[in-house]
A and B are shown apart, each in its own frame.
Chain A
Amino acid sequence: MAEASPRWLHAAPGVVLALGLLVCLLLPVAALGLASSPGELLAALEHPLVLPALGLSAWTSTVALVLVVITGTPLAWMLARARGPWARVIETAVELPIVIPPAVVGIALLLVFGRQGLLAGLGLGLPFTPAAVVMAQVVVAAPFYVQSAAAGFRGVDDDLLLVARTLGASPRRAVLRVAVPLALPAIINGAALCWARALGEFGATLLFAGSFPGRTQTMPLAIYAALEADLRVATAIALVLALVAFATLLTARAARRWLARPASRGTTEGSP
């Protein structure tokens, strides 16, 4: 019986399930796009909550990304090269913030930097400041970067680095001139994911930095604040965020494709 049934009948359940998920993914985005006319969008953007939140989100997420790239690149390199159980333990620890709910990260940050936290003695006064926004974004978003960059570094052939060293390169020069360029598609991918995650950060920011307009109220927090007063403003901010995220995705994809063209392939040439 089963052999006799037509091919489309075999594929049908899978197609229906896949379509179901696609609708779930795309319908909210479409609704967002249709919710406001361009005129309404422009008007909503003039709401006093919007511009400060937009500016704050832009600079905090950018600073967070820069910090993550500066500190996360060497970490990713070390994780990619290290052997042994300790490296795996550290790698798992680095990935923890991906699976821990952001609100839990917010509480944990308060337990470290809060008034009665572990590092309270240092008198940093970090909570509820713009620096706290950046800190929350770094902790929540860094694992995405480190994971992707480490995967990129793992793909670099050991022999290329050894050859670079025999040609006189110091370990650092070998990494910068050979490993980093070859891992660049993965590094860019990680940076895009990291920035998007930082931009969308909500839970950890709310708990650790609060939601003070102009000071710690980022775009996602402004959406939440606006929702209580004016749905149109909330929708407009949401639409801006969605557009920025979409543009990030497209840019990262274009960059990856450009880097993955044959001229800069990241594999050893001529291997058998």
Chain B
Amino acid sequence: MTTPAWQVELRGRLGGLVMDVSFEAGDGPTILVGPNGAGKTTVLRAIAGADMGLRGQVRLHGRTLLDTTAGTCLPPEARRIGYVPQGLGLFPHMSALDNVAFGCGRGPAARQRAHAVLERLDALPLAGRRPHELSGGERQRIALARALAIEPAGLLLDEPLSALDVGQRRRTRAFLAEHLRQAGRPALVVTHDLRDVIAIAGEIVVLEAGRVTGRGRVDALAGAPPTEFVAELLEPLA
């Protein structure tokens, strides 16, 4: 049996939330769903390397990123994880090209690499613009380009489509789903939206009140929803 791409075990208390999250996930996209305050963003931030004070282990393709019992905790810059937070986290004082080049090292070589990544994502015309001069969908594309520019071992996308209006959301969803499928790279994608779940078509991990309460493919979960939240989320498919 092959080792799964992600092996995640996180425990600890964060404010009022007691986290005890444990799941494994394979290559390609995995979708993290759950009500607000379930700990989805916390899980992503902890995997990215933020010091959340959680104990446990995180492995990606067998490489240990965090193991509190062994005293291992790689800093974010050593994890090779592409992280796109909920607000996208674009640096507002830099052009799109400089945002993407940020992770590519220094000098002209970095800009060349950023250039190539933007070209790959059909975003080259946006290179000179600052984030506030871009539409929501364009910003999303730049944020993804920036995360991909470091050739990450895994991707973390926190509600990547939440800031978009309906039209942009539809186009960007298709682009994102297509990209995640093609890349085959391990990716954890947090979303609230059933249409995202269907388009991305990965395995689903359900997180509620700091625990994993269900997992499986969308049709299996829709057929036998493990919790009320899942039943409600997948109701249109049942």
Interface flag for A116 (CB, 8 Å): no
Q: Which B residues are CB-close (under 8 A) to A170? A: 77
Cβ A168 vs Cβ B91 within 8 A: no
Contact A159/B89 with A167-B150, A269-B131 known, Cβ cut-off 8 Å? yes
Cβ A166 vs Cβ B132 within 8 A: no
Q: Which B residues are CB-close (under 8 A) to A271? A: 86-88, 163
Chain B residue at minimal CB-CB distance from A171:
B75
Chain B residue at minimal CB-CB distance from A170:
B77
Chain A residue at minimal CB-CB distance from B156:
A166
Cβ B77 vs Cβ A165 within 8 A: yes
- CB-contact partner of B87 in A182, A263, A270, under 8 A: A270
Cβ B88 vs Cβ A269 within 8 A: yes
Cβ B163 vs Cβ A265 within 8 A: no
Q: Which A residues are CB-close (under 8 A) to B90? A: 268-270
Within 8 A of A (CB), among B176-208: none
Within 8 A of A (CB), among B16-50: 45, 48-50
- CB-contact partner of B83 in A166, A182, A263, A269, under 8 A: A166
Contact A262/B76 with A181-B93, A270-B90 known, Cβ cut-off 8 Å? no
Interface flag for B103 (CB, 8 Å): yes
Q: Which A residues are CB-close (under 8 A) to B48? A: 162, 166
A69 to chain B, nearest CB (A): 20
- B: interface residue count bin: 35 or more
B53-93 CB mask vs A (1 if < 8 Å, else 0) is: 00000000000000000000001110101111111111111
Q: Which A residues are CB-close (under 8 A) to B163? A: 270-272
Contact A168/B86 with A160-B91, A177-B102, A182-B92 known, Cβ cut-off 8 Å? no
- CB-contact partner of B77 in A169, A177, A262, under 8 A: A169
B144-163 CB mask vs A (1 if < 8 Å, else 0) is: 00110110000000000011
Query: CA of A159 to CA of B48 in the docked complex: distance in angstroms?
Result: 11
Cβ B92 vs Cβ A163 within 8 A: no
- Give the B-binding residues of A (Cβ under 8 A): 157-160, 162-171, 177-178, 181-182, 262-272
Closest 9 CB pairs of A and B: A167-B103, A271-B87, A165-B76, A268-B87, A159-B85, A163-B89, A269-B131, A270-B163, A166-B83
Q: Could you jot down 12 A-B contacts, CB within 8 Å?
A: A159-B86, A162-B83, A162-B89, A163-B84, A165-B76, A166-B48, A166-B81, A168-B77, A168-B103, A268-B92, A270-B88, A270-B140
- Give the A-binding residues of B (Cβ under 8 A): 45, 48-50, 75-77, 79, 81-93, 102-103, 105, 130-132, 136, 139-140, 146-147, 149-150, 162-163
